[in-house]
A and B are shown apart, each in its own frame.
Chain A
Amino acid sequence: QSALTQPASVSGSPGQSITISCTGTSSDVGIYNLVSWYQQHPGKAPKLMIYEGSRRPSGVSNRFSGSQSGNTASLTISGLQAEDEGDYYCCSYAGSSTWVFGGGTKLTVL
């Protein structure tokens, strides 16, 4: 159960779009369409932003979108805003009732 691979940091200016990748294996991301994405602000619990790879929970801005190709899932944030700054984590089902998180990506809005 190795952690999924995410870039340590990404940055973008307000109004721009950024994409965060999440690379797993054919035993997790590549075989199950069950990748979720979480946003975490300092001192706060994580918040679900995307599930099943591309679905948004009610209340989450449509500026957040998810996709998947092979063993890699991606989170795209369009129209970047200051409040989007924080840490982002991907999570995938890995079979046999187990899940695995990515190492996290720090998003900086310049």
Chain B
Amino acid sequence: QVQLVQSGAEVKKPGASVKVSCKASGYTFTSYQMHWVRQAPGQGLEWMGILNPSGGSTSYAQKFQGRVTMTRDTSTSTVYMELSGLRSEDTALYYCARDGGSGRSGDYWGQGTLVTVSS
């Protein structure tokens, strides 16, 4: 069965960087793209970007250009999302979500990783 298991909660100071991982299992890792979506406390979902594990190509939301980097390790079927220049507004639950193709932009989701930015 498809599973996406994310790394644990993080607490960071303003200006720091955070790197969240998402380990995939139960399917061919390189056959499906991976989205990153975040949700601030009590707020809605916000699309951050997408990574193609096959070649490593990425596309980021304009809002995060220059601050976010998505990478992957095909040997461990893991994707990573690194966000730099953290500010308090980046406090949120960060999700990875598999793109199932044919418009199924999030057919499986990770459990979410809480990132707290606080001085």
Q: Are A45 and B105 in contact (CB under 8 A)?
A: no
Task: Identify A46's interface contact among B45, B62, B104, CB under 8 A.
Answer: B45
Q: Which A residues from 69 to 110 make CB contacts under 8 A with B?
A: 87, 89, 91, 93, 96-104
Task: Identify A102's interface contact among B44, B103, B105, CB under 8 A.
Answer: B44
Q: Are B62 and A103 in contact (CB under 8 A)?
A: no
Q: Are A93 and B61 in contact (CB under 8 A)?
A: no
Of the listed stretches B71-79, B81-89, B108-116, name the one at the interface; the rest are far from the partner chain.
B108-116
B31 within 8 A of A: no
Count residues of chain B with CB under 8 A from any CB of chain A: 24
**Inside 8 A of B62's CB, which chain A residues have their CB?**
1
**Inside 8 A of B110's CB, which chain A residues have their CB?**
45
In Å, the complex CA distance between A26 and B102 comes to 20
In Å, the complex CA distance between A104 and B46 comes to 10
B46, B50, B103, B110, most chain A CB atoms within 10 A: B103
List the B residue with the shortest CB-CB distance to A3. B44
Q: Are A57 and B107 in contact (CB under 8 A)?
A: yes
Using known A-B contacts A45-B109, A45-B111, determine if residue A89 contacts B44 with beta carbons closer than 8 Å: yes
Using known A-B contacts A45-B111, A46-B109, A97-B59, determine if residue A57 contacts B104 with beta carbons closer than 8 Å: yes
Q: Are A45 and B107 in contact (CB under 8 A)?
A: no
Task: Identify A99's interface contact among B35, B44, B102, B112, CB under 8 A.
Answer: B35
**Inside 8 A of B112's CB, which chain A residues have their CB?**
45
**Inside 8 A of A101's CB, which chain B residues have their CB?**
37, 44-47
Q: Are B109 and A51 in contact (CB under 8 A)?
A: no
28 A-B pairs whose Cβ atoms sit less than 8 Å apart in the complex:
A1-B61, A1-B63, A35-B103, A36-B104, A36-B105, A36-B106, A45-B109, A45-B110, A45-B111, A46-B37, A46-B106, A51-B102, A52-B102, A52-B103, A53-B103, A55-B102, A57-B104, A96-B59, A97-B50, A98-B47, A98-B50, A98-B61, A99-B47, A101-B37, A101-B46, A101-B47, A104-B44, A104-B45
